[in-house]
Amino acid sequence: MIDEISIPFYCNKVYSGFAQTQGLILTDNNHIVIEFETKDALIKLLSSGIKSVKIPYDALLSIATKSMKYVANIPGNENNIFSCQIKKQNIDLAKLLISQVQLQMAEIKLSKYEK
């Protein structure tokens, strides 16, 4: 079981700089959850609404996903990798999230070998 973590993120150069995305990266026992909203960068009135993507830990390969279907709808993804910015004050929390996700991935692999 892992601690639930929530980290705010942003992506300023979505759709060639015409939009910005803000959201949260969350963890639970089975998934990384990415909640986000994309707004136009000019007048900030047009919004995608809040969207959510769940990525199971066993669908991750290091920092990339095994399939594009998990990140295809997240603005700013490229080659199965979702890239975003995190504020400096959240770096330690981000490192903790990465450690917990890697531990969860290792436990999943280990449980498959034990079967």
Q: Reduced to 3 states, what is the DSSP secondary structure of residue 77?
A: strand
Residue with tokens 């700089």: 17
From the centroid of its chain, how far is CA 29?
Answer: 15
Amino acid of residue 32: I
Per-residue confidence (pLDDT) for residue 60, from 0 to 100 = 86
Per-residue confidence (pLDDT) for residue 30, from 0 to 100 = 86
Element (H, E) at 38: strand 31-40
| Region 92-114 average pLDDT | 88
pLDDT tens track for 12-29: 878 877 889 999 999 988
Bridge partner residues of 44 (DSSP) = none
> How confident is residue 63, by pLDDT bands cut at 50, 70 and 90?
low
Q: Reduced to 3 states, what is the DSSP secondary structure of residue 87?
A: coil
Per-residue confidence (pLDDT) for residue 113, from 0 to 100 = 83
pTM beyond 0.85: no
DSSP 60-113: EETTEESSGGGTTTSTTEETTEE--B--GGGHHHHHHHHHHHHHHHHHHHHHHH
Is the per-residue pLDDT at 115 higher than 70? no
